[in-house]
């Protein structure tokens, strides 16, 4: 998994002083027993923007904690030998590979992102060091985006906007979503957030799970669970298909030409997970030839989406520039999750969101 991009060299390590309440935000409560430190920890924070305001929240770590923030290998050279924690805040890839190699005492790596492409490189995957991610922090907003996309196509909001801008009064029929079927490919936190909202609207929910159906983990939100090999059977029944799977060797291109051929003519594809989970060329053909109704996309093979890409001109595409989870406080939520994780780590408690490094999520 690629450690391909090397960030530009910049910046020295920064020790964040404990400022007064930053930006007026409420500080996490700190009592004498707030952190029961098992030794003094050194935390390395990989951040593309050294002026990121959410970095000020790191001042809420115990005062004994050594913190270095940087976006180059040189920024971490002084403290790396003693580092116990690495936070991949807004940089990963080659820099994370290099920094991890400098940290023989590393005991935990945390990624702000839920997706792990560019984070789970071989040296980390093969090490005993636990990796955690931001899974679940952004799921509710992504579930709302999926529901919004379903309603966008069912009610044909694009046509309403076009008629309004043209000053045209043109009544037309719309679709009621109650009783329609949502098929979710990748039933994790995001998939469950979508399922909860779809069921609340009276929709039928199907899901593909890596382990397939199981009597031990029956989910009241889902009418039927399929194994990955049964995905075509699920897709053929779905009016809306939500891709929420992580990117792994097994999921790359899992929706391709055969899957599009199995879809209903009125099917809408919604991708919230990772762009390469769907064969982009096959999707462009299906949309251009009107073999499916439409697509709502938040993630892409290449980001930013290149100029002149067909997705920009296709009228049956709702395009989000990978910001469907960008609420005003999304990065603050991510940092507060890390702070809560650090408290667990310091107290010797089990970490949340531990990644199965063999499976890749």
* 63-67, long-range: CB < 8 A, 24+ apart: 63/18, 64/37, 64/40, 65/40, 65/41, 66/15, 66/40, 66/41, 66/42, 67/14, 67/15, 67/16, 67/42, 67/43
104, 81 contact by CB (below 8 A) = yes
DSSP strand E in 143-180: where? none
Query: In a 10 Å sphere around its CB, with 0-12 CB exposed, 13-18 middle and 19+ buried, how is residue 20 labelled?
Result: exposed
CA distance 71 to 302: 22
Active site residue 303: yes
CA distance 76 to 103: 10
Of the residues 126, 303, 315, 347, only one is catalytic, namely 303
Of the residues 322, 332, 336, 344, only one is catalytic, namely 322
Q: Between vectors from CA 305 to CA 302 and to CA 308, what angle results, nearest 5°?
A: 125
- The side-by-side arrangement of strands in the sheet containing 131-132 is 66-70, 42-46, 85-88, 108-111, 131-132
- Token digits for 106? 């590393």
**Residues 6+ positions from 352 with CB-CB distance below 8 Å:** 132, 340, 341, 344
Of the residues 110, 112, 192, 274, only one is catalytic, namely 274
Query: In a 10 Å sphere around its CB, with 0-12 CB exposed, 13-18 middle and 19+ buried, how is residue 157 labelled?
Result: middle
Sign of the torsion angle spanned by Cα atoms 130, 136, 138, 143: positive
Active site residue 309: no
> Which residues are marked as active site?
274, 303, 322
């Amino acid at each position: 998994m690629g450690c391909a991009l090397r960030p530009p060299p910049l910046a020295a390590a920064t020790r964040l002083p404990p400022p007064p309440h930053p930006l007026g935000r409420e500080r996490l409560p700190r009592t004498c027993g707030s952190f029961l430190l098992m030794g003094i920890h050194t935390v390395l924070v990989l951040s593309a923007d050294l002026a990121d305001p959410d970095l000020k929240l790191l001042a809420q770590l115990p005062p004994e904690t050594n913190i270095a923030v940087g976006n180059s290998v040189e920024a971490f050279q002084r403290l790396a030998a003693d580092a116990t924690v690495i936070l991949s805040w807004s940089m990963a890839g080659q820099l994370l590979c290099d920094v991890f190699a400098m940290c023989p005492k590393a005991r935990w790596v945390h990624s702000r992102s839920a997706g792990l492409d560019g984070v789970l490189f071989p040296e980390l995957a093969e090490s005993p060091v636990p990796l955690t991610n931001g899974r679940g922090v952004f799921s509710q907003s992504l579930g709302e985006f999926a529901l919004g996309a379903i309603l966008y196509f069912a009610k044909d909001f694009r046509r309403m906007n076009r008629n309004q801008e043209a000053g045209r009064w043109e009544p037309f029929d719309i679709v009621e979503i109650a009783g329609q079927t949502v098929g979710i490919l990748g039933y994790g936190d995001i998939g469950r957030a979508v399922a909860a909202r779809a069921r609340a609207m009276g929709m039928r929910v199907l899901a593909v799970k890596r382990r397939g159906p199981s009597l031990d983990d029956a989910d009241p939100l889902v009418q039927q669970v399929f194994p990955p090999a049964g995905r075509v059977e699920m897709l053929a029944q779905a009016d809306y298909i939500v891709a929420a799977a992580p990117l792994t060797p097994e999921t790359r291109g899992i929706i391709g030409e055969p899957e599009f051929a199995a879809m209903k003519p009125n099917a809408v594809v919604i991708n919230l997970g990772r762009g390469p989970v769907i064969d982009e060329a096959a999707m462009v053909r299906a949309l251009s030839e009107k073999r499916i109704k439409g697509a709502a996309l938040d993630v892409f093979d290449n980001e930013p989406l290149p100029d002149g890409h067909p997705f920009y001109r296709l009228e049956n595409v709702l395009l989000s520039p990978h910001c469907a989870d960008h609420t005003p406080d999304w990065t603050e939520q991510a940092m507060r999750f890390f702070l809560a994780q650090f408290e667990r780590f310091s107290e010797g408690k089990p970490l949340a969101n531990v990644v199965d490094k063999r499976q890749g999520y």
